[in-house]
Structure 1
Amino acid sequence: MAGNVVTAASAEQRAAWFDGAMPQVERVRPGLWSIPVPIPINPLRYVLVYALEIPDGVAIIDAGWNTDEAYAALVAGLGTAGYEIGDVKSVLVTHMHPDHYGLAGRVREGSGAWIGLHEADARLLHDRYDEDAMVSLIDLQRRQLVKCGVPGLTADELAQASKSVRDFVTMVMPDRLIEDGERLELPGWDLRALWTPGHTPGHLCFVEPERKLLFSGDHVLAKITPHVAAHPQSGPNPLADYLGSLREIGGLDVDEVLPAHEFRFLDLAARIDYVIAHHEERLAEIERAVAESPGLTCWDIATRLSWSRPWETIPLYMRRTANNETLAHLVWLEARGLLTRVPGEPGDPDLWFPPGSPHPPSP
């Protein structure tokens, strides 16, 4: 969903985003650089990698997809800042998605840098990116889609929709597990990790209190709300995690937010208020849909919600995203007793009802 109007911290980045162009490498502050790294075949177009100068080189936050084009852009961006790939001493990864983690292994190969990730994401890497283990994860996703009411052949196709991204990740394990509240050992920086689960179970933001900067990864973006979905690797209630961690960072004393996509912006608290209000609106919309037609499946509900385009025009693979986001909201409502789920038999979908409403008993 498109967001409220925020104040851009970089007019050039904002203009590039709205023009559909790649932004330039920028010197954000003394010793801090923003490097756009392209994402292939993706509406987000690029990841903003941040390079932090330290006495013996640079530390980078996120890395990009594992493609030759992305690697070349990262190398060129470091060159603009006066560094080479061999100068990278650490890769601090906000979360495990391919556009953030994919190049980390290749950077380590070229520099000897250590890779840091939160433990909650690190333990999911093998099942997510190992080619043999992915088979089991795809089957779990297919079963979940069937429980959501997705027709069988469509569920088979959607379950494999993310398989192709495996090619954009160098499958390596992190060298260090970064903990919530940890102060990173980066000379000249007071950089601290904040565990902000929701988009992934182990998503991290990094705050620099002295400079009043927040590196927000995908947790808070300027224009869109990040994907928060229920799926086999999401944890039991990802939307509760997300909203809770949003509120946790809402009181931070920061002047500027440096996200992984779109453009840098100000007004963190106002942006968080808007995102929370968006989810509250979506929760209310789902409650209304179920009240009007008790006994819907998750897939049924997803087709009735307001998206950025008509449901019929949403590409099939993106309908899985919409379904799983809908499920995350249903789980949140169920946990608070605002909706009731009637589990289906194996092979049959779960059905959703208002609390206390009459519904057919489970077979």
Structure 2
Amino acid sequence: MTTQVIDHRSGVWSIAVPIPDNPLGHTLVHLLETDRGPVLIDTGWDDPDSWDSLVAGVAACGFALTDLHGVLITHHHPDHHGLSAKVRQASGAWIAMHAADTAVVRRTREAEPGEWLDYLIAKLAGAGAPDDHLAPLREARTSGRGRRLPGRRAALPDRGIEPGELLDLPGRRVRAIWTPGHTPGHVCLHLEEEHPGGRAHGFGRLFSGDHLLPGITPHIGLYGDPDDSTVTDPLGDYLASLERVGRLAPAEVLPAHQHAFTDAEGRVRELIAHHEERLSGLRALLREPRTPWQLAVAMEWNRPWEQIPYGSRNIAVSEAEAHLRRLVKQGGVERVPGSDPATYRAV
């Protein structure tokens, strides 16, 4: 096993923790040295190889796992939060997360067997998914396979991360920036210290999680919650969060995937332009009334719809619905009255 560790200087390191069977390859877990001991930003996927890579990476940074003081989680997804429980068990470190994502973890852990399957089946049926797509989910529900849904072992955090707060990390200045969109409680962490390279443009470094990546547009779908009927606008949240991060103007961004990069403001402008272009294209598609499923089929993805795996189609429909929510809120699209499944058209 080759341990991939980068010394970003001034007590900041990144450790590449593999994600099994995923084209992203790995999560960049960051280690930040503090006066009370090192703190991890994210932990990686819960898998034996991932765990071995994390342990070896911490050692390559010059520390033992037992030295870890805390774990800051950018968001609840399993490639970020998956190993948190094992890290806490091995080191005694606390785990911190924004309250909105802690609520997602709690709901997932406490959900009755089959509840999430019922919710997913109803959501997909309401979005116009065909019977052949719903059949495997209904079969799983009938056979009780919902008991094995992922996420039921995810660690509940010990403490919260409050938006705007300067975190209790002695010897460091790290401020929490709430950046909802990819998840309701996603946070970026701004290291408010001069860049060790003396960068002329921007101030500090930003641990951006999945919010701001150099070459990938993060998935923006609906926030799933069987117990909450609030009509949210995740894409609107994301675009507003992007502008907030752009105004920070960090000298360097340390994301959770791919590689570190500069010119956060330029990347923010690219992402905002991408979503504006996509919204415009979807509004054009909706000159012909479509369900969210039909819209997802018609949208451009990184491969033809026929080649998109079953589970990824659910994610694609959620992304189509998030864009629909934004278009409806902007007044460019409306739901066809009385339509079932829900059908939308350009105004």
Stretch of structure 1 that moved more, 88-97 or 49-58? 49-58
Q: Structure 2: any 5+ residue segments left out of the alignment?
A: 195-203
Cα contact 1:55–1:187 (8 A) shared by 2: yes
Q: How does 1:1-363 map to 2 (within 5 A)?
A: 24-130=4-110, 132-133=111-112, 135-157=114-136, 167=150, 170-211=153-194, 212-233=204-225, 236-291=232-287, 293=288, 295-342=289-336, 348-355=340-347
Q: Structure 1: any 5+ residue segments left out of the alignment?
A: 1-20, 356-363
C-alpha distance after superposition, 1:238-264 (max 9, x if no partner): 111111111111111311100001111
TM score, norm. by length of structure 2: 0.89
Cα contact 1:104–1:170 (8 A) shared by 2: no
Deviation at residue 187 of structure 1 after TM alignment: 1.7
Partner of 1:361: none
2:250 counterpart SS class: coil
Stretch of structure 1 that moved more, 91-100 or 21-30? 21-30
Deviation at residue 128 of structure 1 after TM alignment: 2.2
Q: Residue 325 of structure 1 aligns to which amino acid in structure 2? A: E
Q: Paired residues, what number?
A: 330
Deviation at residue 230 of structure 1 after TM alignment: 1.5
Separation in 2 of the partners of 1:166 and 1:22?
A: 32
Separation in 2 of the partners of 1:79 and 1:175?
A: 25
Separation in 2 of the partners of 1:119 and 1:152?
A: 37
Separation in 1 of the partners of 2:187 and 2:231?
A: 16
TM score, norm. by length of structure 1: 0.85
Separation in 1 of the partners of 2:32 and 2:235?
A: 32
Stretch of structure 1 that moved more, 178-187 or 334-343? 334-343
Cα contact 2:3–2:56 (8 A) shared by 1: no
Separation in 2 of the partners of 1:332 and 1:189?
A: 38
2:222 counterpart SS class: coil
Cα contact 1:116–1:177 (8 A) shared by 2: yes
C-alpha distance after superposition, 1:228-284 (max 9, x if no partner): 002423961111111111111111131110000111111100001001111111101
Separation in 2 of the partners of 1:317 and 1:297?
A: 19
Deviation at residue 197 of structure 1 after TM alignment: 0.3
Q: Residue 177 of structure 1 aligns to which amino acid in structure 2? A: G
Separation in 1 of the partners of 2:237 and 2:267?
A: 18
Separation in 2 of the partners of 1:22 and 1:236?
A: 43
Cα contact 1:48–1:260 (8 A) shared by 2: yes
Cα contact 1:92–1:115 (8 A) shared by 2: yes
Q: Residue 237 of structure 1 aligns to which amino acid in structure 2? A: D
Separation in 2 of the partners of 1:224 and 1:165?
A: 30
Cα contact 2:249–2:264 (8 A) shared by 1: no
Separation in 2 of the partners of 1:241 and 1:155?
A: 30
Q: Residue 45 of structure 1 aligns to which amino acid in structure 2? A: G
Partner of 1:14: none
Separation in 2 of the partners of 1:280 and 1:106?
A: 41
Separation in 2 of the partners of 1:23 and 1:155?
A: 42
Separation in 2 of the partners of 1:129 and 1:43?
A: 27
Separation in 1 of the partners of 2:47 and 2:150?
A: 9
Separation in 1 of the partners of 2:148 and 2:45?
A: 9
Identity, % of aligned positions: 42
Cα contact 2:183–2:223 (8 A) shared by 1: no
Distance 1:28 1:166, change over 3 A: farther
Partner of 1:13: none
1:185 counterpart SS class: coil
C-alpha distance after superposition, 1:14-66 (max 9, x if no partner): xxxxxxx9882011112111001111111111110000112342001000111
Separation in 2 of the partners of 1:336 and 1:23?
A: 47
Question: Aligned-pair RMSD on alpha carbons?
Answer: 2.4
Deviation at residue 127 of structure 1 after TM alignment: 2.3
Partner of 1:10: none
Separation in 1 of the partners of 2:14 and 2:116?
A: 35
Distance 1:133 1:204, change over 3 A: farther
